[in-house]
Amino acid sequence: MTVWLLGDQLNPTITPLESADHVLLIEAHAFAERHRYHPQKLTLVFSAMRHFRDELRDRGYEVTYLRAETFGDALDRYFEANPGDNLVGLHSPSHGADDRRRRLVEARDGTLTLVENDLFVTTREAFDAWAGEPDDESRTFRQEGWYRHVRRETGILMDDGDPVGGEWNYDDQNRETPPPEWSAPEVPRFEPDGITEEVQAFVADRYDDHWGDPEGFVWPVTRAEARHALEHFVSARLSEFGAYQDALLDDEWALSHSLLSAAINLGLLRPREVVDAAVDAYESGSAPLNSVEGFVRQIVGWREFMRHVYRRSMPDLATANQLDQTESLPPAYWNGDTDMQCLSKAVEHVHDRGYAHHIERLMVLSNFALLYGVDPAELNEWFHLGFVDAYHWVTTPNVVGMGSFGSDVLSSKPYASSANYIDKMSDHCASCPYAKSKTTGENACPFNTLYWDFLKRNEETLRGTGRMGLMYSHVDRKDDEEWDAIQERATELRERAVEGEL
């Protein structure tokens, strides 16, 4: 039996491999041009695939590894050598990918049988049984309910039917900013070996117009390296993960975040083993419950939820735009050239490593785009090409749903905030020329002006939306003079943003 695995299914313990002796892997080079992916993302995927090929061969599998322009070109070659072959694969979480692959194989007189993708903790059937059938639009559901359901079903952090410690959630302990003398534990670096260097040279040559720094590659490309990254996280970073997970610092790009998303999304790590490692740390007393619960929630709550919501909401989710936002991203998203310290740092992090942590993504990069009025699909494209962990199934619900409020499928209100939040959680505002407490006039922080402008512009849609009452009670307190000043400053900021002078 031949198993055709994709570049994000790189795990030697996936079920179909148990009964297979032959594996097909295709490195499709034109596919990598569909979006101008970050050079480090392309290096990561191609290098991880080549390392996986070698690992499978060491384990005794016969591996056909094809480098081609497209899947179609590679399959032409494959079926010429193996006419009528029956391939087995894992379902892809990305919309339409299964049908496309099946059509490509059938057009060459082969067959493709797809089985459950066991690189997730939960199955599609389990989610649909909990949430109701996808076409039942009367059902609404939220991540918190799903998270509790998964905890109960799996027994993760459960104690005789109750959540360990008595609470489902310890976020009230997870909103600290580190003291000034704190520095983050060193990030493990995985120095490029010969294979990675070869891929880096290929990527630099072929994709030389892609945005992002090709140098400074730190990501694990093998399962062994990914396991090392996990162990390092659990022993060095997990204990402070919870407390500092929402913080933003000028001189820290990683804080105590796990930096594991790229390895998990490639299949190098199973989400369940990552969760188990964190829970073991709690049980052995080396990490506190607020950190471990917070981390577990990200994986079995948010990550699994995003995957299922995406599956059920596509294709509409990709173009959802309930606020009718139509602006283009300002040039600062490409050159980081802005006096706004928070935005400039976040863009720099993405450019340099293809990574920014969750709060930079949500409360800086997508919050600013939301307030500014950027088309969610354009923002989605920026995230998709900018990040090493980006795949359509995970980027789209996070960017279009959570970050842009293009649809209310993920939250009942937008994640919109003024400078207040960033000031509370970061040290950025202290060195920023913009005045964090001003909304109008010279030097007023763009987050403030655009926040009120956003609420006003979207009043018709948002005023009646769940949990927006408090915000609109503040809107109602502003008089015409204040609104005129906000309007004037917003217009000026927009002009400057377009000119690249924000």
Q: Which span sits near ligand FAD by CB under 6 A: 31-39, 195-203, 395-403, 481-489?
A: 395-403
CA–CA gap between residue 352 and residue 89 (Å, rounded): 34
Which of 366, 407, 426, 458 touches ligand FAD by CB under 6 A? 366
Which of 48, 230, 340, 390 touches ligand FAD by CB under 6 A? 390
CA–CA gap between residue 335 and residue 433 (Å, rounded): 19
Q: Indicate the helix (H) or strand (E) that contains 23.
A: strand 22-28
The full length of the chain comes to 502
Q: Does 53 engage in binding with ligand FAD (CB under 6 A)? A: no
Q: Does 343 engage in binding with ligand FAD (CB under 6 A)? A: no
Closer residue to ligand FAD, CB minimum distance, 68 or 277: 277
Closer residue to ligand FAD, CB minimum distance, 200 or 398: 398
Over its C-alpha atoms, the chain yields an Rg (Å, rounded) of 23
CA–CA gap between residue 66 and residue 402 (Å, rounded): 37
Closer residue to ligand FAD, CB minimum distance, 78 or 368: 368
Burial class (CB in 10 A: 0-12, 13-18, 19+), 381: middle
Q: Which of 470, 211, 256 is nearest to 348 (CA)?
A: 211
Which of 361, 436, 489, 494 touches ligand FAD by CB under 6 A? 361
First to last CA, the chain: 58
Q: Does 395 engage in binding with ligand FAD (CB under 6 A)? A: yes
**DSSP symbol at 298:** I
Which of 402, 429, 432, 486 touches ligand FAD by CB under 6 A? 402
Q: Which two tokens stand for residue 470?
A: 């408090």
Which of 265, 313, 407, 448 touches ligand FAD by CB under 6 A? 265
Helix (H, G, I), strand (E, B) or coil at 390: coil
Q: Does 302 engage in binding with ligand FAD (CB under 6 A)? A: yes
Q: How far is the CB of 305 from ligand FAD (least distance, A)?
A: 8
Which of 52, 372, 383, 454 touches ligand FAD by CB under 6 A? 383
Cα angle, residue 258 at apex, residues 257 and 263 outer, rounded to 5°: 140
Residue 273 and residue 357 in contact, taking contact as beta carbons nearer than 8 Å: no
Q: Does 293 engage in binding with ligand FAD (CB under 6 A)? A: no
Q: Which span sits near ligand FAD by CB under 6 A: 125-133, 276-284, 294-302, 430-438?
A: 294-302
Q: How far is the CB of 427 from ligand FAD (least distance, A)?
A: 19
**Position 81: which residue type?**
A
Number of residues that bind ligand FAD (CB under 6 A): 28
Contact residues toward ligand FAD (CB under 6 A) are 257-261, 264-265, 295, 298-299, 302-303, 306, 357-358, 361-362, 366, 383, 387, 389-390, 394-395, 398-399, 402-403
